[in-house]
Structure 1
Amino acid sequence: MLKEGLAGVVTAQSRISLVDGEKGQLVYRGYWAEDIAQHKSFEEVMYLLWYQRFPQPVELDTFIQSMKNARVLSETEESILHSLPTNMDMMSVIRTMLSTRGTTDYQWPSTIEEGIQLTALVPTIICYRYRLLNGMGPIMPRKDLDHVSNYLYMLHGTEPRKAHVKALTGYLILTMEHGMNASTFAARVISSTQSDLVSAVAGAIGAMKGPLHGGAPSGVIDLLEEIGSIEKAEPYIRKKLENGELLMGFGHRVYKTMDPRARALRAITSNLTQDDPWFALANQVEQLAIELLDEYKPGRRLYTNVEFYAAAILKALQIPTDLFTPTFTMSRIVGWIANVYEQNENNRIIRPSSEYVGKMPDPK
């Protein structure tokens, strides 16, 4: 039976993550993702997804140091970044720069060291290129900062606030992995041919670049900016719903109850409302919007999705909208690589069939 887009077709058994849309559950390696997002670091969850367990303290120290050592661009890579067309979008820049790593040093099956090299480099590429295009001098990475803090430091040039680091860490952990989505499937297909990790990641970036997959939550920012203050929220939302307009940041194709990633980010940002008024506005608008959606669209089960809080966090951190999907990518690359490792363990080339519906020649 034809399943367009492979909808509902199981293509692999995986121990990496569970996405249960009906129950609103997201599991990473036997742990609730929303719990570890509030209590673990980016590097700890990265280690969990790759090694199938959390690290011991000495293992984590070694892992973090390896990440820090891999952050620096080579002179050749810096030269390439300067030479790329100015109208090349950031996703294409990341794809191109990582492709330059595709030497004979990267072979199938992929190694942890290769994964560290690619993952650590993505924030540096983003920040270097962004500052270059905006007439600012690139900022070199700092070895005394963790992965998330260093990203914010290289982007803005100032020491990031702890509240902002915590919020972004939670967001990045919750977007590391999400089942057999389009980009993850692309990575596994490429790896199944026994191609190298660079090729698999480059293909995944190509899929993530498409607006139907990695589209930025800029519509949510527009919503919050137009509301402006909680006093204006109710009449604004009622007007939108009465006009039959979509309420950006609510409803999800997979989750039929509240997106567990949004639930976790709400918990994180609700503790930070004293530190940033933007988080306070987002929390209040969300609660009101859910009440009004239930009033205007009873039974539709429209809840907050991860894009709502992603927008609130990225806006509060002053991350430009054209860096939303690249920032998402610096997280999801961890999940892609975890899936490549799993594909390598018991590999069989992924080769689905198609049904020919074209014209047949005359019989011989």
Structure 2
Amino acid sequence: MKFVDEATIRVIAGKGGNGCLSFLREKFRPNGGPDGGDGGNGGSIYLVAKSGLNTLADFRFIRQYRAKNGAGGAGKDRFGKKGDDLLIAVPLGTIVSDAQTNEIIGDVTKAGERLLVAEGGRRGLGNANFKSSTNRAPRRTTPGKMGDERLMKLELKVLADVGLLGLPNAGKSTLLSAVSHARPKIADYPFTTLHPQLGVVDIGHSSSFVIADIPGLIEGAAQGTGLGIQFLKHLKRTRILLHLVDIAPIDHKDLEQGVREIERELSHFEPSLADKERWLVLNKIDTVSQEMALEIESELKEKLSYRGQVYRISALTGAGCDKLTNDVMNRLLRIDEAIKAELENRESGAQDLDRVWDQVLQQ
């Protein structure tokens, strides 16, 4: 199961400007000759990798992009203005292919990297280009060429910032729908999530992060039991894991046993996953009293010897969700700052990114 965000757009490069047909006519130069200038080249279209973008959601609203046409030539050997290039910002890791032939055009992996996807049309030539010793008054010009037009498919292999973990029916899909615009299937039976689901949590002030809900994990998931194995490998590049626990499960399953079960599956699949920063989130507090929720939290922390912060929320009513998402955003920003500072102190720079990433997340 590849975890991708996709969009299809049409790009139309600018047409080249037409060449000009003109002859010089001045008072003292009645036979001045041809002076028609060339047109300008049409504008090209480039995809530009921009850090900070993490989805292709914007392309669902604007489906067509057109660069400026080149201006036509003019008399007195004046060239037309070149059409402005169009730069389209895309997230790092975007893969571009022709939607009709499936031919891979290229990808952008570094901030600021440009990829030419539609070249502007060539300029037309004015009649001044065709004068010769045998043709002193050419009336020939050429029109500007049409720019490239293509239907492109954009694919982004999404690296979610936050991953949701939990047993089936822990409320992961409900939480995803409560804090983002994602609309996963929600029902009162296990395994309603059959495929990984993505949502963008918008905190405001241009701050957002990507959160991913995966199918519920059960015992043996690391060996292929259930559905969670399909996405476990994608959790390796998330920065924070939110471990959702149903505070009052209908089957009265022991909470400690449920948490330990998830921990074992993470360790079996990838030992580093078990060491990744993981926050405990007690969900469905609307089903118990406040006193009971505090008692359950205290008892669970003691059994697990858990010293981290525990969040109590109700994904159904939204209680506690704002504090959780704000704290997640603040933590992600601190991680970004730590990674940036660490890279600035290393001569090897971006070549060390993967190693620096892992070191910072383990701090």
TM-score, scaled to structure 2? 0.23
TM-score for both structures, normalised by structure 1: 0.23
Higher share in strand: 2
Greater helix fraction, Structure 1 or Structure 2: 1
